[in-house]
Amino acid sequence: MKRAQVQSLETIAVLVVFFILIGAGLVFYYRMQAQSLQEEASEQATLKAISISQLVSFLPELECSRNGIPEENCIDSIKLEKAAPIINSKKDYYYDIFQNSKIVLEQVYPNKQSFNLYDYPLPANKLTSETKVPIPIAIYNPLTDLYGFGVLRITVYS
Q: E strands along 51-145, which residues?
A: 63-66, 69-76, 101-109, 113-119, 130-141
pLDDT tens by residue, 93-115: 888 888 888 888 898 888 888 88
Answer yes or no: pTM beyond 0.85.
Answer: no
Domain boundaries along the sequence of the chain: 42-157
User: CB neighbours (10 Å) of residue 54?
Assistant: 11
For 81-108, b where at least 16 C-beta lie within 10 A, e where not — what string? eebbeebbeeeeebeeebebbbbbbbbe
pLDDT 10s digits, 5-49: 778 888 898 999 999 999 999 999 999 998 988 888 888 888 888
First CA to last CA distance, the chain: 65
